[in-house]
Structure 1
Amino acid sequence: MKKILIMVFALAGFISCQKPAATSDAPLIPEGITYLTREEWGAREPVLPMRPHQLTRLTIHHTGVPQLFDRSLADKLRSLQKFSQEESPLADGRMKPAWADVPYHLYVDVHGAVGEARDLNYAGDSNTSYDPAGHLLVVVEGNFEKEAITEAQMKTLEILVPALARRFAIPADSLGAHKDFAQTSCPGASLYAELPRFRQLVSRK
């Protein structure tokens, strides 16, 4: 009996690590938003071990590169995964080590579609000094120091951000941006300026 109980508790612990602590049965991506799963864009398996975590924050990033209107979301995600899983040069000349997978959990493309990136059960990666464990990382395509958020992206974010906060019981004051935790301009001035409105939307949930 003792051995059976130990096995039951071990299995329960394993299962708890496999599912983010959701407080809603609603789908991850709300109805009306185009969603591309890892299987649909042809994701490769992670190439390194990843850290399990529990989601307590929602943190917004931008890709920091120009928006690409004529390239498919699947192609963008495959390229991002390739860059992520290899040792790659950064814009400032530093070399990024190979990461296990795409560093973010969800990718919002220029047309407002959402791509599934890293498994939500595992902490993301960063080339800055903050620890992204506990952060649900949403990256928005574009360099918002130089570009404007598209109407389609804004429409998606206005629905997606409060829906994610509701699903994972993330309060409005735990919605932030990359620059709140590290020395960086990410997610760019124009997107960062929208965070107070996103917090208001989360507060109304």
Structure 2
Amino acid sequence: MRSTVLLAALALTSCAGSQSASANLRGLPSDLPVLTRTQWGAAEPVVEMTPHTPTVITVHHTGTPANPERSTAEKIRALQAFSQRADTLGDGTPKVAWADVPYHYYIGTDGVVAEGRDVRYEGDTNTSYDLRGHVQVVVEGNFEETEPTPEQLASLRGLVVALADAWAIPADAIAGHGDRAVGQTVCPGENLKPFLPTLRAAVEAD
């Protein structure tokens, strides 16, 4: 049964033991290892963002090899720095400067969930689909080539169930990036896609 305690929770004891009242942490369980924006040293958004209300959850992979030797804080700081400048993607496609990290949550190889862009604002993407209402969750790794870690899968499940509960998102509104941008990407990779029905079933059972 869905818990009203989750809906009321605005603060979370993170993996480092401190607390945050961010909207991104709304309803997350206290046993989920979370790294807040303050803890990883986030910069402020550099351009205006578009407000929205979360209605669906979209799962991504980073599409790059996982690097467990670097901390999640280092990796999301690097992602934010890349995101906030005009640059060129790996395939040579130009990228405009985005306001912030394109994702709302980033799950590292150890299962730590880093708080990204404020969930009340639309994210960004390199593919063309309407981002209104999307909560964007990215899991570190290229899952066309490797498997997600057990820690990543556990955190992804806990995060998605809590988000669905907190924002009244139904199970059938949970999908992979490739399901949203059909024909444009294989994200979140063939080794993570089979976990999506498990996420939907967990939300149905909550």
Which residue of the partner structure matches residue 190 of structure 1?
Answer: 191
| Residue pair 1:62, 1:187 contacting (<8 A) in 2 also | yes
Partner amino acid for 1:95?
Answer: P
Q: CA deviation at 1:133?
A: 1.5
Q: CA deviation at 1:131?
A: 1.8
2:104 and 2:159 map into 1 onto residues whose CA distance is 13
Which residue of the partner structure matches residue 24 of structure 1?
Answer: 7
1:3-82 to 2 correspondences below 5 Å: 24-26=7-9, 27-82=26-81
Q: CA deviation at 1:165?
A: 0.6
Partner amino acid for 1:194?
Answer: F
Q: What CA RMSD, in Å, does the superposition of the two structures yield over aligned residues? A: 1.1
SS of aligned partner of 1:202: helix
| Residue pair 1:29, 1:35 contacting (<8 A) in 2 also | no
> Unpaired segments of 5 or more residues in structure 1?
1-22
Runs of 4+ aligned structure 1 residues displaced above 6 Å come to none
Q: CA deviation at 1:157?
A: 1.5
Is 2:191 aligned against 1:202? no
1:55 and 1:163 map into 2 onto residues whose CA distance is 13
Q: CA deviation at 1:201?
A: 0.4
| Residue pair 2:102, 2:123 contacting (<8 A) in 1 also | yes
2:138 and 2:27 map into 1 onto residues whose CA distance is 16
1:94 and 1:86 map into 2 onto residues whose CA distance is 14
1:136 and 1:89 map into 2 onto residues whose CA distance is 25
Which residue of the partner structure matches residue 82 of structure 2?
Answer: 83
1:38-187 to 2 correspondences below 5 Å: 38-182=37-181, 183-187=184-188
TM-score, normalization by structure 1: 0.86
Q: Which has the larger radius of gyration?
A: 1
1:159 and 1:147 map into 2 onto residues whose CA distance is 22
Q: CA deviation at 1:71?
A: 0.4
TM-score, normalization by structure 2: 0.86
2:56 and 2:158 map into 1 onto residues whose CA distance is 17
> Unpaired segments of 5 or more residues in structure 2?
1-5, 10-25
Q: CA deviation at 1:30?
A: 1.4
Q: CA deviation at 1:64?
A: 0.7
1:99 and 1:157 map into 2 onto residues whose CA distance is 25
Partner amino acid for 1:101?
Answer: D
SS of aligned partner of 1:24: helix
Please say which of residues 174-183 and 27-36 is displaced more in the overlay. Answer: 27-36
SS of aligned partner of 2:197: helix
